[in-house]
């Protein structure tokens, strides 16, 4: 995990799976609601063996509302499914501790 310099927490882990737009909203202190945060789960398989699982956080506007799970089984999936998702994370990422406290303070 890479580190960032958080103004509140100092040298701290970077949560890499937070989109650039969501990070920006957090930076400016938007009053985000649960419905604003979209979580996409990405599962990567090699044959039937699961290689990795991650939850990616975006603003709900960045992806289709019914997109909740992306399963990657081959290069074509990577190209068609994962790449378009990853575009949202260029320049993204956020302080893990700030994000954790943001999640626990989310209003319904
Ligand atoms: Zn922080």
* DSSP state letters, 6-46: ETTTEEEEEETTB-HHHHHHHHTT---BGGGEEEEEEEEEE
- Residue ranges, the chain, pLDDT below 50: none
Kindly state whether residue 47 falls inside one of the protein's structural domains.
yes
Longest dimension (CA), the chain: 44
Q: What percent of the chain has pLDDT over 90?
A: 83
CA of 74 from ligand 1 middle (Å) equals 36
Residue 5 falls inside a structural domain? no
Considering the domain boundaries, does residue 3 fall inside one? no
Domain holding 36, by residue range, is 17-91
Separation of alpha carbons 56 and 92, rounded Å: 11
> How does DSSP classify residue 63?
S
Tell me what pLDDT residue 65 has.
87
What's the confidence (pLDDT) of residue 107?
A: 64
User: How many structural domains does the chain have?
Assistant: 1
**Distance from residue 75's CA to the centre of ligand 1 (Å):** 36
- For ligand 1, the distance from its centroid to the CA atom of residue 81, given in whole angstroms, is 31
Taking only Cα atoms into account, the Rg of the chain, rounded to an integer number of angstroms, comes to: 15
Total-model pTM: 0.88
Which residues are bridge partners to 53 per DSSP? Answer: 43
On whether residue 104 sits in a domain, the answer given is no
Give the environment of ion ligand 1: residues with CB less than 5 A: 6, 8-9, 95, 97-98
Q: Which two tokens stand for residue 66?
A: 């019914």
């Amino acid at each position: 995990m890479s580190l960032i310099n958080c103004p509140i927490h100092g040298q701290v882990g970077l949560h890499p799976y937070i989109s650039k737009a969501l990070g920006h909203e957090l930076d400016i202190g938007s009053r985000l609601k649960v419905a604003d945060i979209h979580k996409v789960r990405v599962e990567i398989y090699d044959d039937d063996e699961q290689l990795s699982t991650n939850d990616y956080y975006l603003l709900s506007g960045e992806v289709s509302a019914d997109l909740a799970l992306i399963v990657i089984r081959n290069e074509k999936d990577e190209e068609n499914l994962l790449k378009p998702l990853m575009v949202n994370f260029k320049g993204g990422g956020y302080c893990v501790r700030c994000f954790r406290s943001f999640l626990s303070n989310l209003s319904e």
